[in-house]
Amino acid sequence: MNNSIQNLTSLIPEQCKQQQGKIDKKLVPQTNYSKPVYKRNKGNFTSIKHKPAQEGGASATRVSDKGLSFIAGWEGSVRDSSGKHILYRDAVGVWTIGYGHAVFSKAERQKYLNGLTESEALTLFRQDIKRFEDGVRESLKVPVNQAQFDALVSLAYNIGIYAFKNSTVLRLINEGAPMSEIEEAWKRWVYGGGRVLPGLVNRRNAEWKLFSTGKYY
């Protein structure tokens, strides 16, 4: 395990490391084991001083280690009795493994039937995050600070990069709209399967707190 992955492992909330029931790792888990973990151990996060982005100033372009742990904590994970990450269906029925990696094809699902080690799950997570970092960076027309960038990538990672690029949130940020308007648009993203999901409400609140105050917990 390389140093960057090892450091990230130390920041992952304890709930994401806990085993989620005794399941044969060679089998696709049943629905009753398919509940993503939304609770986080707040003690594992640290806050940073928030500095509002200034027009023409430097802008963050990559997710920080604290941002990675923040996103991984909200994504959660499901594991078997050996501690391996296993396939599960998320709140809207999408096959998922590790820290929010969506599995859409049958071939890829077969690939993950034996699960992933923590190191493999974190490596996959970091690979997935890069696409969202790139998408958020390319979509922004104004500079943002590190906490704001981390919050935006968390939102994009959860709702999808296409939805993010076409969102009112992004448009308002690029237009320099009042924070109250951005907050209202941000907190509309709480629906899954046509209903409000408490886990998404909590995540949006945490993301907004991060974006507006720089506090990771």
| pLDDT tens string 113-128 | 999 999 999 999 999 9
- Average pLDDT across the chain, whole number: 80
CB 40 within 8 A of CB 15: yes
Confidence of residue 58 (pLDDT cuts 50, 70, 90): low
**Which contacts qualify for 24-27: CB closer than 8 Å, 24 or more apart?**
24/80, 25/80, 25/81, 25/82, 25/84, 25/86, 25/114, 25/115, 26/113, 26/114, 27/113
Dist CA 188 CA 206 (whole Å)? 14
**What percent of the chain lies above the pLDDT cut of 70?**
73
Question: Which is catalytic among the residues 75, 118, 133, 207?
Answer: 75
**75: annotated active-site residue:** yes
Whether 11 contacts 67, CB under 8 Å: no
Q: CATH code at 150?
A: 1.10.530.40
Which tokens belong to 161? 């990069």
124 and 98 Cβ atoms separated by less than 8 Å? yes
Full domain range(s) for residue 202: 3-213
How many domains does the chain fold into?
1
The pLDDT score that the predictor gives to residue 8 is: 55
Q: What is the DSSP string of 76-142?
A: ---B-TTS-B--EE-TTS-EEETTTEE--SHHHHHHTTT-B-HHHHHHHHHHHHHHHHHHHHHH-SS
pLDDT tens, residue by residue, 59-90: 889 999 999 999 999 998 999 999 999 999 99
